[in-house]
């Protein structure tokens, strides 16, 4: 029997774009959020560890592993803000989903696009539980590669239809507005972060510089707002003044990682935070006061990538959108790997 144990399903960038195109991006974001929510509800089943990071002056390269006991997944991802100067992406990624019982990989996939989707889906899922009820207006500060995904995720899950855009590069805001034309948004281009905050019920900060910055100051944040802080995702990189944090109810993915990489690296190690999975699972009320400032200190966690790969494996199979890579050695006799080499050499002699 030809078992084809050497072959592993592979989703390329081209295949990924076809999959998302066939689904529709808002449908894909909604489905991803549903998968992430389901896995957050069984959070305690997963292996959890802060990502393994290799930092350099120009950026960071990270591995993000997890397992639920049946499947194992990891993502390789970089973050290099200076890459845009020579036409490269700030963030690129690929990932693997494997069968725990055999150790064999089931799927190898691009994750640059998939990470952008899962990051936005996680943000919107958090906002479902934390944002003011009925919030429709979002300030989007930092209009780089993540901005359109965030906007569409908040539209798909919360009905956000008004955007106030600001970026230090006006061309970035103009590009974002042009890309989102036709998606049903009322878009305002703003001249400053302060202007973008006017009338906003939700604010997403998604800047890229690997630096301790103050994108939002305390006087810019009024009562009742929800802050979705996406850009601070490594040591020394922040976006919010610490006084904002002290006034906010803070929700995080995995505290041991967020205390090193997130906005809360600016606070004492014992500053109280709530794990988002507890809110999703109904163990914590989330927002409980209309005047409360809620903050999702998002740095990205491996379980979200696991969820994304789990969704992709099913969707790629449904659409038959994958290639098969000859990735694993599969000798006729499992203990005779060297013999497989000998037979291959003889075949070309």
Return the closest-CA partner of residue 302 out of 53, 12, 24, 17. 53
Predicted pLDDT at 41: 98
Give 256's pLDDT tier (boundaries 50, 70, 90).
very high
What is the pLDDT averaged over residues 254-273? 95
Predicted pLDDT at 84: 87
Annotation marks residue 233 as catalytic: yes
Mean pLDDT score across all residues of the chain: 95
How does pLDDT run across 173-203, given as a tens digit for each residue?
A: 999 999 999 999 999 999 999 999 999 999 9
Predicted pLDDT at 210: 61
Residues 6+ apart with CB under 8 A from 268: none
- Decide if pLDDT at 327 tops 80: yes
Predicted pLDDT at 3: 64
Give 226's pLDDT tier (boundaries 50, 70, 90).
very high
Give 214's pLDDT tier (boundaries 50, 70, 90).
confident
- Output the pTM of the full model: 0.94
Return the closest-CA partner of residue 204 out of 292, 267, 297. 297
What is the pLDDT averaged over residues 124-148? 97
How does pLDDT run across 51-91, given as a tens digit for each residue?
A: 999 989 988 899 999 999 999 999 999 989 889 899 998 88
What is the pLDDT averaged over residues 106-113? 98
Give 209's pLDDT tier (boundaries 50, 70, 90).
low
Segment (H or E) for 35: helix 25-41
C-alpha 129/C-alpha 92 separation (Å) is 29
3-state helix, strand, coil in the chain (%, to 5): 40, 25, 35
What is the pLDDT averaged over residues 25-39? 98
C-alpha 343/C-alpha 87 separation (Å) is 45
Predicted pLDDT at 1: 38
> What are phi and psi for residue 91, nearest 5 degrees?
-120, 130
How does pLDDT run across 1-31, given as a tens digit for each residue?
A: 356 899 999 999 999 999 999 999 999 999 9
Predicted pLDDT at 240: 94
- Decide if pLDDT at 243 tops 50: yes
Q: What percent of the chain has pLDDT over 90?
A: 89
The residue annotated as part of the active site, out of 233, 243, 326, 332, is 233
How does pLDDT run across 55-66, given as a tens digit for each residue?
A: 899 888 999 999
- Decide if pLDDT at 349 tops 90: no
Predicted pLDDT at 6: 94
Give 273's pLDDT tier (boundaries 50, 70, 90).
very high
Residues 6+ apart with CB under 8 A from 181: none
């Amino acid at each position: 029997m030809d078992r084809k144990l050497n072959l592993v399903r592979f989703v390329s960038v081209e295949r990924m774009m076809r999959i998302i195109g066939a689904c529709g991006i808002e449908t894909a974001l909604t489905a991803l959020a549903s998968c992430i929510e389901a896995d957050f509800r069984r959070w305690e089943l997963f292996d959890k560890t802060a990502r393994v990071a290799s930092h350099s002056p120009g950026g960071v390269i990270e591995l993000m592993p997890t397992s639920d006991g049946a499947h194992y997944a990891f993502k390789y991802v970089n973050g290099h803000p200076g890459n845009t100067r020579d036409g490269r992406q700030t963030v690129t990624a690929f990932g693997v989903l494997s069968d725990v019982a055999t150790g064999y990989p089931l799927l190898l996939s691009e994750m640059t696009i998939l990470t952008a989707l899962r990051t936005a889906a996680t943000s919107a899922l958090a906002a479902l539980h934390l944002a003011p009820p009925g919030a429709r207006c979002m300030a989007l500060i930092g209009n780089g590669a993540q901005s359109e995904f965030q906007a569409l995720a908040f539209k798909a899950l919360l009905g956000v239809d008004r955007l106030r855009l600001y970026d230090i590069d006006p061309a970035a805001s103009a590009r974002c507005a042009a890309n989102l034309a036709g998606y049903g948004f009322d878009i305002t281009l703003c001249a400053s972060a302060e202007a973008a905050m006017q009338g906003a019920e939700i604010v997403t900060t998604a800047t890229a510089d690997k630096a301790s910055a103050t994108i939002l100051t305390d006087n810019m944040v009024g009562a009742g707002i929800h802050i979705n802080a996406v850009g601070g995702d490594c040591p020394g990189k922040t976006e919010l003044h610490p006084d904002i944090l002290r006034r906010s109810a803070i929700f995080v993915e995995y505290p041991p990682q967020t205390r090193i990489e997130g906005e809360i690296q600016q606070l004492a190690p014992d500053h109280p935070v709530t794990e988002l999975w507890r809110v999703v699972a109904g163990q914590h009320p989330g927002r409980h006061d209309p005047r409360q400032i809620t903050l999702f200190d998002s740095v990205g966690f491996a379980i979200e990538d696991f969820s994304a790969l789990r969704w992709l494996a099913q969707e790629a199979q449904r659409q038959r959108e994958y290639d098969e890579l000859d990735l694993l050695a599969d000798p006729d006799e499992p203990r005779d790997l060297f013999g497989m080499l000998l037979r291959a050499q003889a075949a070309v002699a």
